[in-house]
Protein backbone atom coordinates (compact mmCIF):
# COMPACT_ATOMS: atom_id res chain seq x y z
CA UNK A 1 0.00 0.00 0.00
CA UNK A 2 1.45 3.38 -0.92
CA UNK A 3 -0.97 5.43 1.16
CA UNK A 4 -0.45 6.44 4.78
CA UNK A 5 -3.60 6.36 6.89
CA UNK A 6 -3.97 9.54 8.94
CA UNK A 7 -5.38 8.81 12.38
CA UNK A 8 -6.24 12.07 14.08
CA UNK A 9 -6.29 12.08 17.88
CA UNK A 10 -6.73 15.83 18.46
CA UNK A 11 -9.99 15.18 20.31
CA UNK A 12 -8.52 12.48 22.54
CA UNK A 13 -4.75 12.77 23.13
CA UNK A 14 -4.81 16.41 21.98
CA UNK A 15 -7.47 17.25 24.50
CA UNK A 16 -5.35 15.64 27.23
CA UNK A 17 -3.06 18.69 26.98
CA UNK A 18 -3.17 20.58 30.28
CA UNK A 19 -5.83 23.31 30.10
CA UNK A 20 -7.17 22.30 26.68
CA UNK A 21 -10.64 21.12 27.70
CA UNK A 22 -13.27 21.32 24.97
CA UNK A 23 -17.02 21.06 25.40
CA UNK A 24 -19.19 18.67 23.39
CA UNK A 25 -20.25 21.23 20.77
CA UNK A 26 -16.66 22.35 20.25
CA UNK A 27 -15.56 18.75 19.77
CA UNK A 28 -18.27 18.24 17.20
CA UNK A 29 -17.18 21.38 15.37
CA UNK A 30 -13.57 20.17 15.26
CA UNK A 31 -14.71 16.70 14.13
CA UNK A 32 -16.63 18.29 11.25
CA UNK A 33 -13.54 20.22 10.23
CA UNK A 34 -11.43 17.02 10.46
CA UNK A 35 -13.93 15.42 8.10
CA UNK A 36 -13.42 18.31 5.65
CA UNK A 37 -9.67 17.85 6.11
CA UNK A 38 -10.30 14.26 5.04
CA UNK A 39 -8.45 12.46 7.81
CA UNK A 40 -9.13 8.74 7.64
CA UNK A 41 -9.82 8.15 11.33
CA UNK A 42 -10.96 10.44 14.13
CA UNK A 43 -10.23 9.25 17.64
CA UNK A 44 -13.15 11.09 19.20
CA UNK A 45 -12.48 10.42 22.87
CA UNK A 46 -12.13 8.08 25.81
CA UNK A 47 -15.78 7.40 26.71
CA UNK A 48 -15.31 5.89 30.17
CA UNK A 49 -13.22 8.85 31.33
CA UNK A 50 -16.18 11.24 31.78
CA UNK A 51 -19.84 11.70 30.80
CA UNK A 52 -18.76 14.62 28.60
CA UNK A 53 -16.30 12.44 26.68
CA UNK A 54 -18.94 9.74 26.27
CA UNK A 55 -21.45 12.26 24.91
CA UNK A 56 -18.92 13.79 22.52
CA UNK A 57 -17.99 10.40 21.05
CA UNK A 58 -21.67 9.46 20.75
CA UNK A 59 -22.58 12.70 18.99
CA UNK A 60 -19.59 12.63 16.64
CA UNK A 61 -20.31 8.98 15.79
CA UNK A 62 -23.87 9.96 14.83
CA UNK A 63 -23.07 13.15 12.94
CA UNK A 64 -19.72 12.65 11.22
CA UNK A 65 -20.22 9.91 8.68
CA UNK A 66 -17.25 9.78 6.33
CA UNK A 67 -14.21 8.94 8.50
CA UNK A 68 -13.83 6.00 10.83
CA UNK A 69 -14.79 7.11 14.35
CA UNK A 70 -12.66 5.53 17.03
CA UNK A 71 -13.23 5.26 20.79
CA UNK A 72 -10.43 4.52 23.24
CA UNK A 73 -10.66 1.91 26.00
CA UNK A 74 -8.27 0.46 28.55
CA UNK A 75 -7.98 -3.32 28.40
CA UNK A 76 -10.86 -3.69 30.81
CA UNK A 77 -14.36 -5.08 30.10
CA UNK A 78 -16.21 -1.98 31.46
CA UNK A 79 -14.08 0.35 29.34
CA UNK A 80 -14.65 -1.66 26.20
CA UNK A 81 -18.41 -1.92 26.75
CA UNK A 82 -18.68 1.80 27.44
CA UNK A 83 -16.55 2.70 24.41
CA UNK A 84 -18.78 0.56 22.20
CA UNK A 85 -21.92 2.11 23.67
CA UNK A 86 -20.58 5.53 22.62
CA UNK A 87 -19.34 4.64 19.14
CA UNK A 88 -21.83 2.03 17.99
CA UNK A 89 -23.89 4.39 15.82
CA UNK A 90 -20.91 5.41 13.71
CA UNK A 91 -20.99 4.57 10.01
CA UNK A 92 -17.49 3.11 10.49
CA UNK A 93 -16.77 2.40 14.18
CA UNK A 94 -13.42 1.38 15.63
CA UNK A 95 -12.45 0.30 19.15
CA UNK A 96 -8.93 1.10 20.30
CA UNK A 97 -7.78 -1.00 23.26
CA UNK A 98 -4.54 -0.24 25.08
CA UNK A 99 -2.51 -1.79 27.86
CA UNK A 100 0.95 -1.00 29.21
CA UNK A 101 3.71 -3.33 28.05
CA UNK A 102 6.99 -2.02 29.46
CA UNK A 103 8.54 -3.55 32.58
CA UNK A 104 8.67 -0.04 34.06
CA UNK A 105 4.87 0.24 33.88
CA UNK A 106 4.26 -3.40 34.84
CA UNK A 107 6.46 -3.19 37.90
CA UNK A 108 5.67 0.27 39.21
CA UNK A 109 2.16 0.95 38.03
CA UNK A 110 0.17 -2.17 37.18
CA UNK A 111 2.05 -4.65 39.40
CA UNK A 112 1.34 -7.43 36.91
CA UNK A 113 3.52 -10.05 35.24
CA UNK A 114 4.26 -10.17 31.52
CA UNK A 115 2.16 -13.37 31.23
CA UNK A 116 -0.85 -11.64 32.81
CA UNK A 117 -0.53 -8.64 30.48
CA UNK A 118 -0.25 -10.91 27.44
CA UNK A 119 -3.35 -12.83 28.43
CA UNK A 120 -5.41 -9.72 29.26
CA UNK A 121 -4.43 -8.11 25.93
CA UNK A 122 -5.59 -11.18 24.05
CA UNK A 123 -8.83 -11.55 26.02
CA UNK A 124 -9.79 -7.90 25.68
CA UNK A 125 -9.26 -7.91 21.92
CA UNK A 126 -11.56 -10.96 21.77
CA UNK A 127 -14.13 -9.04 23.82
CA UNK A 128 -13.89 -5.94 21.61
CA UNK A 129 -14.14 -8.12 18.52
CA UNK A 130 -17.63 -9.21 19.64
CA UNK A 131 -18.75 -5.65 18.88
CA UNK A 132 -16.93 -4.75 15.67
CA UNK A 133 -14.36 -6.05 13.24
CA UNK A 134 -12.24 -2.90 13.29
CA UNK A 135 -10.02 -3.30 16.35
CA UNK A 136 -6.82 -1.44 17.14
CA UNK A 137 -4.50 -2.54 19.91
CA UNK A 138 -1.69 -0.50 21.52
CA UNK A 139 1.00 -1.92 23.83
CA UNK A 140 1.61 1.28 25.77
CA UNK A 141 5.19 2.48 26.30
CA UNK A 142 6.32 0.17 23.48
CA UNK A 143 9.52 2.12 22.85
CA UNK A 144 10.73 1.22 26.37
CA UNK A 145 9.66 -2.41 26.13
CA UNK A 146 11.90 -5.34 25.26
CA UNK A 147 11.27 -5.90 21.51
CA UNK A 148 10.86 -9.70 21.90
CA UNK A 149 7.97 -9.13 24.28
CA UNK A 150 6.33 -6.61 21.91
CA UNK A 151 6.53 -9.24 19.13
CA UNK A 152 4.74 -11.76 21.38
CA UNK A 153 1.98 -9.32 22.27
CA UNK A 154 1.46 -8.28 18.66
CA UNK A 155 1.25 -11.88 17.49
CA UNK A 156 -1.28 -12.70 20.20
CA UNK A 157 -3.56 -9.70 19.58
CA UNK A 158 -3.51 -10.16 15.80
CA UNK A 159 -4.48 -13.81 16.28
CA UNK A 160 -7.27 -12.57 18.56
CA UNK A 161 -8.59 -10.25 15.83
CA UNK A 162 -6.76 -6.90 16.02
CA UNK A 163 -6.75 -5.32 12.56
CA UNK A 164 -4.40 -2.46 13.46
CA UNK A 165 -1.46 -2.69 15.85
CA UNK A 166 -0.17 0.61 17.11
CA UNK A 167 3.35 1.15 18.45
CA UNK A 168 3.29 4.04 20.93
CA UNK A 169 6.32 6.05 21.95
CA UNK A 170 4.26 7.05 24.96
CA UNK A 171 6.86 9.19 26.71
CA UNK A 172 8.63 10.53 23.62
CA UNK A 173 11.81 8.62 24.45
CA UNK A 174 12.66 7.10 21.09
CA UNK A 175 15.36 8.22 18.65
CA UNK A 176 14.44 7.86 14.95
CA UNK A 177 17.03 5.22 13.95
CA UNK A 178 16.28 3.17 17.05
CA UNK A 179 12.50 3.44 16.59
CA UNK A 180 12.99 2.48 12.95
CA UNK A 181 14.88 -0.65 14.05
CA UNK A 182 11.96 -1.57 16.33
CA UNK A 183 9.62 -1.31 13.35
CA UNK A 184 11.98 -3.37 11.22
CA UNK A 185 12.11 -6.04 13.95
CA UNK A 186 8.31 -6.12 14.10
CA UNK A 187 7.99 -6.72 10.36
CA UNK A 188 10.66 -9.44 10.51
CA UNK A 189 9.70 -11.22 13.70
CA UNK A 190 5.91 -11.12 14.03
CA UNK A 191 4.77 -13.97 11.76
CA UNK A 192 1.17 -12.74 11.27
CA UNK A 193 2.03 -9.03 10.91
CA UNK A 194 0.78 -9.03 7.32
CA UNK A 195 -2.78 -9.40 8.66
CA UNK A 196 -2.72 -6.01 10.42
CA UNK A 197 -1.95 -2.39 9.62
CA UNK A 198 1.09 -1.22 11.57
CA UNK A 199 0.58 2.19 13.16
CA UNK A 200 2.79 4.54 15.20
CA UNK A 201 1.89 7.04 17.90
CA UNK A 202 4.75 9.34 18.87
CA UNK A 203 5.00 11.93 21.61
CA UNK A 204 7.20 14.97 21.40
CA UNK A 205 9.11 15.09 24.69
CA UNK A 206 12.45 15.26 22.88
CA UNK A 207 11.04 17.15 19.89
CA UNK A 208 11.28 13.98 17.77
CA UNK A 209 7.65 12.96 17.33
CA UNK A 210 7.46 13.85 13.64
CA UNK A 211 10.94 12.46 12.89
CA UNK A 212 10.05 9.16 14.59
CA UNK A 213 6.73 8.96 12.74
CA UNK A 214 8.34 9.62 9.36
CA UNK A 215 11.12 7.12 10.01
CA UNK A 216 8.41 4.57 10.77
CA UNK A 217 6.66 5.31 7.49
CA UNK A 218 9.93 4.66 5.73
CA UNK A 219 10.15 1.33 7.58
CA UNK A 220 6.66 0.18 6.60
CA UNK A 221 4.19 1.77 9.06
CA UNK A 222 1.01 2.65 7.19
CA UNK A 223 -0.91 4.50 9.86
CA UNK A 224 0.33 7.56 11.71
CA UNK A 225 -1.39 8.95 14.79
CA UNK A 226 -1.15 12.71 15.11
CA UNK A 227 -2.89 15.90 16.21
CA UNK A 228 -3.59 19.28 14.66
CA UNK A 229 -0.89 21.77 15.76
CA UNK A 230 0.82 18.84 17.54
CA UNK A 231 -1.17 19.45 20.73
CA UNK A 232 -1.36 16.71 23.33
CA UNK A 233 -0.23 15.31 26.63
CA UNK A 234 2.91 17.13 27.95
CA UNK A 235 5.01 18.28 24.95
CA UNK A 236 2.29 17.02 22.62
CA UNK A 237 1.91 14.50 19.81
CA UNK A 238 3.30 14.34 16.30
CA UNK A 239 1.89 17.26 14.35
CA UNK A 240 -0.57 16.29 11.62
CA UNK A 241 0.29 19.17 9.31
CA UNK A 242 4.03 18.46 9.46
CA UNK A 243 3.60 14.75 8.72
CA UNK A 244 1.14 15.28 5.89
CA UNK A 245 3.18 18.04 4.26
CA UNK A 246 6.46 16.14 4.63
CA UNK A 247 4.91 13.13 2.87
CA UNK A 248 3.46 15.36 0.14
CA UNK A 249 6.42 17.68 -0.36
CA UNK A 250 8.98 14.85 -0.28
CA UNK A 251 7.01 12.40 -2.35
CA UNK A 252 10.31 11.77 -4.17
CA UNK A 253 11.69 10.37 -0.90
CA UNK A 254 8.69 8.61 0.62
CA UNK A 255 6.80 7.56 -2.52
CA UNK A 256 3.62 7.83 -0.44
CA UNK A 257 0.41 9.81 -0.34
CA UNK A 258 -2.33 10.59 2.17
CA UNK A 259 -6.03 11.29 1.71
CA UNK A 260 -5.79 14.67 3.39
CA UNK A 261 -7.13 17.75 1.63
CA UNK A 262 -4.13 19.91 2.47
CA UNK A 263 -6.03 23.13 1.61
CA UNK A 264 -7.97 22.60 4.85
CA UNK A 265 -4.84 22.52 7.01
CA UNK A 266 -4.64 26.21 7.86
CA UNK A 267 -8.35 26.42 8.68
CA UNK A 268 -8.09 23.32 10.91
CA UNK A 269 -5.10 24.79 12.71
CA UNK A 270 -6.90 28.08 13.38
CA UNK A 271 -10.03 26.34 14.62
CA UNK A 272 -8.15 24.06 17.02
CA UNK A 273 -6.09 26.97 18.32
CA UNK A 274 -9.18 29.09 18.77
CA UNK A 275 -11.23 26.46 20.59
CA UNK A 276 -8.47 25.04 22.80
CA UNK A 277 -6.92 28.42 23.54
CA UNK A 278 -3.46 27.12 22.56
CA UNK A 279 -1.70 29.74 20.50
CA UNK A 280 0.42 28.51 17.60
CA UNK A 281 4.02 29.66 17.93
CA UNK A 282 4.99 32.02 15.06
CA UNK A 283 7.84 29.79 13.80
CA UNK A 284 5.75 26.60 13.87
CA UNK A 285 6.29 24.67 10.63
CA UNK A 286 3.44 24.85 8.08
CA UNK A 287 0.90 26.83 10.17
CA UNK A 288 2.92 29.37 12.16
CA UNK A 289 2.42 33.04 11.28
CA UNK A 290 6.01 33.24 10.00
CA UNK A 291 6.05 29.91 8.17
CA UNK A 292 5.77 31.59 4.77
CA UNK A 293 7.13 35.05 5.60
CA UNK A 294 10.42 36.13 4.09
CA UNK A 295 12.24 38.81 6.00
CA UNK A 296 15.74 38.96 4.57
CA UNK A 297 16.24 41.06 1.44
CA UNK A 298 18.02 38.26 -0.42
CA UNK A 299 15.16 35.85 0.24
CA UNK A 300 12.51 38.41 -0.72
CA UNK A 301 14.36 39.12 -3.93
CA UNK A 302 14.51 35.42 -4.74
CA UNK A 303 10.84 34.77 -3.97
CA UNK A 304 9.73 37.69 -6.13
CA UNK A 305 11.82 36.34 -9.02
CA UNK A 306 10.73 32.74 -8.54
CA UNK A 307 9.01 31.42 -5.37
CA UNK A 308 10.80 28.05 -5.59
CA UNK A 309 14.09 29.79 -4.71
CA UNK A 310 13.15 29.94 -1.02
CA UNK A 311 9.71 28.32 -0.79
CA UNK A 312 9.48 24.54 -0.78
CA UNK A 313 5.68 24.64 -0.52
CA UNK A 314 3.11 26.94 -2.06
CA UNK A 315 1.23 28.51 0.90
CA UNK A 316 -2.01 27.99 -1.03
CA UNK A 317 -1.60 24.21 -0.80
CA UNK A 318 -2.09 24.44 2.96
CA UNK A 319 -4.99 26.84 2.58
CA UNK A 320 -3.24 30.10 3.39
CA UNK A 321 -5.11 32.61 1.26
CA UNK A 322 -3.07 33.97 -1.61
CA UNK A 323 -4.68 37.35 -1.89
CA UNK A 324 -3.59 40.12 0.40
CA UNK A 325 -6.73 42.09 -0.36
CA UNK A 326 -7.66 44.22 2.61
CA UNK A 327 -11.33 45.01 3.17
CA UNK A 328 -12.57 48.35 4.43
CA UNK A 329 -15.72 50.23 5.27
CA UNK A 330 -16.75 50.54 1.65
CA UNK A 331 -16.55 46.77 1.08
CA UNK A 332 -19.91 45.20 0.42
CA UNK A 333 -21.54 42.04 1.65
CA UNK A 334 -20.51 40.16 -1.48
CA UNK A 335 -16.79 40.93 -1.05
CA UNK A 336 -17.07 40.00 2.63
CA UNK A 337 -18.73 36.68 1.79
CA UNK A 338 -16.10 35.90 -0.86
CA UNK A 339 -13.32 36.60 1.60
CA UNK A 340 -14.95 34.35 4.17
CA UNK A 341 -15.18 31.58 1.60
CA UNK A 342 -11.50 32.00 0.70
CA UNK A 343 -10.68 31.68 4.38
CA UNK A 344 -12.66 28.44 4.51
CA UNK A 345 -15.82 29.65 6.27
CA UNK A 346 -19.29 28.98 4.98
CA UNK A 347 -21.78 30.73 7.21
CA UNK A 348 -25.53 30.30 7.12
CA UNK A 349 -27.70 33.32 6.17
CA UNK A 350 -28.36 34.43 9.76
CA UNK A 351 -24.73 34.06 10.87
CA UNK A 352 -23.55 35.87 7.76
CA UNK A 353 -25.92 38.76 8.46
CA UNK A 354 -24.63 39.10 12.01
CA UNK A 355 -20.99 38.73 10.99
CA UNK A 356 -21.41 41.35 8.25
CA UNK A 357 -22.93 43.84 10.64
CA UNK A 358 -20.04 43.29 13.11
CA UNK A 359 -17.65 43.70 10.20
CA UNK A 360 -19.23 47.06 9.35
CA UNK A 361 -18.95 48.21 12.97
CA UNK A 362 -15.31 47.18 12.99
CA UNK A 363 -14.65 48.89 9.67
CA UNK A 364 -15.90 52.14 11.21
CA UNK A 365 -13.26 51.89 13.93
CA UNK A 366 -10.38 50.32 12.02
CA UNK A 367 -8.89 51.31 8.68
CA UNK A 368 -8.02 48.09 6.84
CA UNK A 369 -9.65 44.78 7.80
CA UNK A 370 -7.20 41.91 7.34
CA UNK A 371 -7.75 38.15 7.20
CA UNK A 372 -6.78 37.82 10.85
CA UNK A 373 -9.37 40.47 11.77
CA UNK A 374 -12.02 38.50 9.89
CA UNK A 375 -11.02 35.24 11.56
CA UNK A 376 -11.19 36.92 14.93
CA UNK A 377 -14.56 38.44 14.13
CA UNK A 378 -16.05 35.09 13.09
CA UNK A 379 -14.59 33.44 16.19
CA UNK A 380 -16.15 36.16 18.35
CA UNK A 381 -19.54 35.56 16.69
CA UNK A 382 -19.23 31.84 17.32
CA UNK A 383 -18.48 32.40 20.98
CA UNK A 384 -21.67 34.37 21.58
CA UNK A 385 -23.89 31.59 20.25
CA UNK A 386 -25.38 29.43 23.02
CA UNK A 387 -24.03 31.52 25.87
CA UNK A 388 -25.88 31.57 29.19
CA UNK A 389 -24.98 35.12 30.25
CA UNK A 390 -24.45 37.77 27.60
CA UNK A 391 -22.33 40.87 28.10
CA UNK A 392 -24.40 43.90 27.10
CA UNK A 393 -22.26 46.75 28.40
CA UNK A 394 -19.05 47.41 30.21
CA UNK A 395 -17.76 50.74 31.39
CA UNK A 396 -14.64 51.56 33.40
CA UNK A 397 -13.00 54.50 35.00
CA UNK A 398 -9.28 54.23 35.74
CA UNK A 399 -6.00 56.07 35.72
CA UNK A 400 -3.11 56.81 38.07
CA UNK A 401 -5.20 58.95 40.47
CA UNK A 402 -8.64 57.43 41.05
CA UNK A 403 -9.75 53.98 42.20
CA UNK A 404 -10.40 51.69 39.22
CA UNK A 405 -14.15 51.25 38.96
CA UNK A 406 -16.27 49.15 36.60
CA UNK A 407 -19.96 48.85 35.84
CA UNK A 408 -21.34 45.95 33.80
CA UNK A 409 -24.72 44.98 32.43
CA UNK A 410 -25.45 41.36 31.54
CA UNK A 411 -28.45 39.51 30.17
CA UNK A 412 -29.14 36.47 32.34
CA UNK A 413 -30.32 33.08 30.98
CA UNK A 414 -33.94 33.97 31.87
CA UNK A 415 -33.72 37.18 29.82
CA UNK A 416 -33.44 39.55 32.80
CA UNK A 417 -31.02 42.42 32.41
CA UNK A 418 -28.76 42.64 35.48
CA UNK A 419 -26.35 45.42 36.34
CA UNK A 420 -23.67 45.77 39.01
CA UNK A 421 -20.46 47.64 39.76
CA UNK A 422 -17.20 47.02 41.63
CA UNK A 423 -13.85 48.52 42.55
CA UNK A 424 -10.60 46.75 41.72
CA UNK A 425 -6.83 47.00 41.72
CA UNK A 426 -7.03 47.81 38.01
CA UNK A 427 -9.77 48.12 35.37
CA UNK A 428 -9.75 44.40 34.45
CA UNK A 429 -9.90 43.35 38.09
CA UNK A 430 -12.82 45.74 38.64
CA UNK A 431 -14.68 44.39 35.59
CA UNK A 432 -14.17 40.77 36.67
CA UNK A 433 -15.35 41.54 40.18
CA UNK A 434 -18.47 43.26 38.85
CA UNK A 435 -19.21 40.27 36.59
CA UNK A 436 -18.70 37.87 39.50
CA UNK A 437 -21.20 39.78 41.62
CA UNK A 438 -23.83 38.92 39.01
CA UNK A 439 -22.83 35.45 37.77
CA UNK A 440 -21.73 34.26 41.19
CA UNK A 441 -19.90 31.01 40.44
CA UNK A 442 -16.72 30.32 42.42
CA UNK A 443 -13.63 30.40 40.20
CA UNK A 444 -10.01 31.43 40.25
CA UNK A 445 -8.33 33.29 37.41
CA UNK A 446 -5.15 31.33 36.63
CA UNK A 447 -4.06 32.90 33.36
CA UNK A 448 -4.62 36.19 31.60
CA UNK A 449 -2.90 37.31 28.45
CA UNK A 450 -3.54 39.95 25.87
CA UNK A 451 -2.10 40.31 22.41
CA UNK A 452 -2.82 42.37 19.37
CA UNK A 453 -3.73 40.22 16.41
CA UNK A 454 -2.56 42.62 13.71
CA UNK A 455 -0.18 45.54 13.56
CA UNK A 456 -1.23 49.14 14.08
CA UNK A 457 -2.61 51.25 16.87
CA UNK A 458 -6.20 50.44 15.84
CA UNK A 459 -5.57 46.66 15.94
CA UNK A 460 -7.96 44.20 17.52
CA UNK A 461 -6.81 43.01 20.93
CA UNK A 462 -7.35 39.36 21.74
CA UNK A 463 -7.55 38.27 25.36
CA UNK A 464 -7.16 34.73 26.62
CA UNK A 465 -8.11 33.75 30.14
CA UNK A 466 -8.10 30.47 32.00
CA UNK A 467 -10.17 30.04 35.12
CA UNK A 468 -10.25 27.09 37.47
CA UNK A 469 -13.30 25.75 39.21
CA UNK A 470 -13.70 22.40 40.94
CA UNK A 471 -10.28 21.27 39.70
CA UNK A 472 -11.16 21.87 36.03
CA UNK A 473 -9.68 24.60 33.85
CA UNK A 474 -11.89 26.55 31.45
CA UNK A 475 -10.49 28.70 28.69
CA UNK A 476 -12.11 31.85 27.41
CA UNK A 477 -11.27 34.20 24.59
CA UNK A 478 -12.52 37.59 23.58
CA UNK A 479 -11.58 40.08 20.91
CA UNK A 480 -12.29 43.77 20.50
CA UNK A 481 -10.53 46.96 19.51
CA UNK A 482 -10.90 47.94 23.19
CA UNK A 483 -8.86 45.59 25.38
CA UNK A 484 -11.05 46.12 28.45
CA UNK A 485 -14.08 45.01 26.43
CA UNK A 486 -12.03 42.09 25.04
CA UNK A 487 -11.06 41.16 28.62
CA UNK A 488 -14.70 41.22 29.71
CA UNK A 489 -15.73 39.10 26.72
CA UNK A 490 -12.98 36.55 27.41
CA UNK A 491 -14.00 36.22 31.03
CA UNK A 492 -17.66 35.84 30.07
CA UNK A 493 -16.66 33.19 27.54
CA UNK A 494 -14.80 31.18 30.19
CA UNK A 495 -17.67 31.56 32.70
CA UNK A 496 -20.23 30.47 30.11
CA UNK A 497 -18.15 27.37 29.38
CA UNK A 498 -17.94 26.63 33.07
CA UNK A 499 -21.72 27.02 33.39
CA UNK A 500 -22.46 24.85 30.36
CA UNK A 501 -20.11 22.11 31.68
CA UNK A 502 -21.98 22.24 35.00
CA UNK A 503 -25.25 21.64 33.19
Binding positions for Zn ion, rule: CB under 5 A: 13
Residue 133 CA from chain centroid, whole number: 28
Q: Where are the beta strands (DSSP E) in 227-377?
A: none
Q: Which residues contact 63 (CB under 8 A, 6 or more apart)?
A: 28, 31, 32
Strand 135-140 to strand 164-169: parallel, antiparallel, or no bridges (unpaired)? parallel
DSSP per-residue letters across 185-196: HHHHH-TTGGGS
Q: What's the chain's Rg over C-alpha atoms?
A: 25
Distance set, CA 47 to CA 71, 227, 254 (Å): 7, 19, 36
Min dist. Cβ of residue 216 to ligand KIV (A)? 14
Min dist. Cβ of residue 474 to Zn ion (A)? 23
Nearest alpha carbon to residue 370 among 458, 266, 245, 274 = 458
Min dist. Cβ of residue 47 to Zn ion (A)? 17
Among Zn ion, ligand KIV, none, what does residue 196 contact (CB within 5–8 Å per kind)? none
For ligand KIV, which is the closer residue by CB, 98 or 179? 98
For ligand KIV, which is the closer residue by CB, 168 or 180? 168
For Zn ion, which is the closer residue by CB, 135 or 238? 238
Strand 197-202 to strand 223-226: parallel, antiparallel, or no bridges (unpaired)? parallel
For ligand KIV, which is the closer residue by CB, 202 or 406? 202
Distance set, CA 142 to CA 117, 137, 138, 148, 309 (Å): 13, 12, 8, 11, 42
Among Zn ion, ligand KIV, none, what does residue 424 contact (CB within 5–8 Å per kind)? none
7 half-sphere exposure, CB direction, 13 A CA radius? 27
For ligand KIV, which is the closer residue by CB, 242 or 462? 242
Min dist. Cβ of residue 496 to ligand KIV (A)? 30
For Zn ion, which is the closer residue by CB, 236 or 424? 236
For ligand KIV, which is the closer residue by CB, 164 or 331? 164
For ligand KIV, which is the closer residue by CB, 209 or 374? 209
Question: Whole-angstrom Cα distance, residue 468 to residue 475?
Answer: 9
For ligand KIV, which is the closer residue by CB, 140 or 160? 140
DSSP per-residue letters across 94-132: EEEEEEE-SHHHIIIII---HHHHHHHHHHHHHHHHTT-
For Zn ion, which is the closer residue by CB, 98 or 336? 98
Question: Whole-angstrom Cα distance, residue 339 to residue 76?
Answer: 50
Min dist. Cβ of residue 13 to ligand KIV (A)? 5
Neighbours of 363 (CB within 10 A): 18
Strand 5-8 to strand 41-45: parallel, antiparallel, or no bridges (unpaired)? parallel
Among ligand KIV, Zn ion, none, what does residue 140 contact (CB within 5–8 Å per kind)? ligand KIV
C-beta of residue 157 within 8 angstroms of C-beta of residue 138: no
Q: In what order do the strands lie in the sheet with 405-411?
A: 390-397, 405-411, 417-423
Site residues (CB under 6 A) for ligand KIV? 13, 98, 138, 140, 166, 168, 170, 201, 203
Phi/psi at 232 (5° precision): 160, 180
Min dist. Cβ of residue 43 to ligand KIV (A)? 9
Nearest alpha carbon to residue 179 among 152, 201, 156 = 201
Min dist. Cβ of residue 97 to Zn ion (A)? 14
Min dist. Cβ of residue 98 to ligand KIV (A)? 4
Min dist. Cβ of residue 199 to Zn ion (A)? 12
For ligand KIV, which is the closer residue by CB, 75 or 193? 75
Distance set, CA 255 to CA 4, 241, 246, 410 (Å): 10, 18, 11, 58
Min dist. Cβ of residue 49 to Zn ion (A)? 14
Among ligand KIV, Zn ion, none, what does residue 223 contact (CB within 5–8 Å per kind)? none
Min dist. Cβ of residue 265 to Zn ion (A)? 22
Residues β-bridged to residue 405: 397, 423
Q: Which residue is nearest to Zn ion (CB)?
A: 13
Among ligand KIV, Zn ion, none, what does residue 138 contact (CB within 5–8 Å per kind)? ligand KIV
Among ligand KIV, Zn ion, none, what does residue 213 contact (CB within 5–8 Å per kind)? none
For ligand KIV, which is the closer residue by CB, 201 or 267? 201
Element (H, E) at 450: strand 444-452
Among ligand KIV, Zn ion, none, what does residue 336 contact (CB within 5–8 Å per kind)? none
Nearest alpha carbon to residue 443 among 407, 404, 484, 474 = 474
Among ligand KIV, Zn ion, none, what does residue 129 contact (CB within 5–8 Å per kind)? none
Min dist. Cβ of residue 175 to ligand KIV (A)? 17
Amino acid sequence: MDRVIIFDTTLRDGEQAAGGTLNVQEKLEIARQLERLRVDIIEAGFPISSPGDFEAVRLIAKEVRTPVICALARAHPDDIDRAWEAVKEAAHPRLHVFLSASDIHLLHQLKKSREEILETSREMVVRAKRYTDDIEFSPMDASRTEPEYIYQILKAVIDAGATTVNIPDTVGYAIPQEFGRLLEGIFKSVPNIGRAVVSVHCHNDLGLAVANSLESVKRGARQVECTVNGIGERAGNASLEEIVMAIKTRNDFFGMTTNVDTRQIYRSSRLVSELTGFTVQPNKAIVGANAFRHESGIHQDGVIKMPITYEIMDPRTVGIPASSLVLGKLSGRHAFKERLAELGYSLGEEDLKRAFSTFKELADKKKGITDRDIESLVAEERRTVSEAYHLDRVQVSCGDRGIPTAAVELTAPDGQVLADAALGTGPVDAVYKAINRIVNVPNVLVEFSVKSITEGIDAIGEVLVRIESGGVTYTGRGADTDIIVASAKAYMNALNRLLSAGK
